[in-house]
A and B are shown apart, each in its own frame.
Chain A
């Protein structure tokens, strides 16, 4: 079982819609959870961190954490073409483990 799994293929969403990304992790004792955005040819950029169960909102982004189900999600509301990127889920126990990422394409 992979440490961090992001199984969805590329996600195409129309401009203004909600993009929903999911991530599961295997290490039950993981403490910190992050979402990074990576534009093509660029390095990952931290957009959200979440440490406790529930929702955390920051602008158009909402991260959701469910430790019992070992599940983290990211919602992007009112998607914009500038949101087109690969989104990486990262989980930290004693080091940061990354999922393979989900590509999001926002269609104007």
Chain B
């Protein structure tokens, strides 16, 4: 079974631009979560989508948004890029249970290779 794929793998943008990142989950997985990873802050949760609905959201400004399509593929958009947005953006997919906090292997998350975003 193919793993999680993310495109593009690398991006260089300038301040003020916007960017769209794409994530294709493992076949059959309905939940996609997005994370930002930086050396200083570690892995920080951005948001989770399940069945095309945002189910959870982290503490990031509104410049960060996402969506999920009917085939479970997800996109993340960052508008008005800032230097501090330079990071590795990771998506993770899971089967997704009725509740994202449920005691279940349905919520085991598998990560894609990430998109390395550099903002100049």
Within residues 21 to 44 of chain A, which ones have a CB less than 8 A from any CB in chain B? 31-32, 34, 36, 42-44
B1 within 8 A of A: no
Q: Is the CB of A100 within 8 A of B42?
A: yes
Q: Give A101 to B100 CA distance when docked, in angstroms.
A: 23
Residues of A within 8 A of B113 (CB): 42-43
Q: Give A88 to B45 CA distance when docked, in angstroms.
A: 14
Residues of B within 8 A of A46 (CB): 108-111
Interface residues on B, range: 20 to 34
B66 within 8 A of A: no
CB within 8 Å for A95 and B100 given contacts A32-B107, A44-B43, A88-B43: yes
Residues of B within 8 A of A42 (CB): 113
B32 within 8 A of A: no
Residues of A within 8 A of B53 (CB): none
Cβ-closest chain B residue relative to A27: B101
Total chain A interface residues with beta-carbon distance under 8 A? 22
Within residues 42 to 76 of chain A, which ones have a CB less than 8 A from any CB in chain B? 42-46, 49, 51
Q: Give A49 to B114 CA distance when docked, in angstroms.
A: 22
Residues of B within 8 A of A97 (CB): 45
The distance from the CB of A18 to the nearest CB of chain B, in whole angstroms, is 25
Residues of A within 8 A of B108 (CB): 34, 46, 49
Within residues 71 to 108 of chain A, which ones have a CB less than 8 A from any CB in chain B? 88, 92-101
Chain A residues near B (Cβ < 8 Å): 31-32, 34, 36, 42-46, 49, 51, 88, 92-101
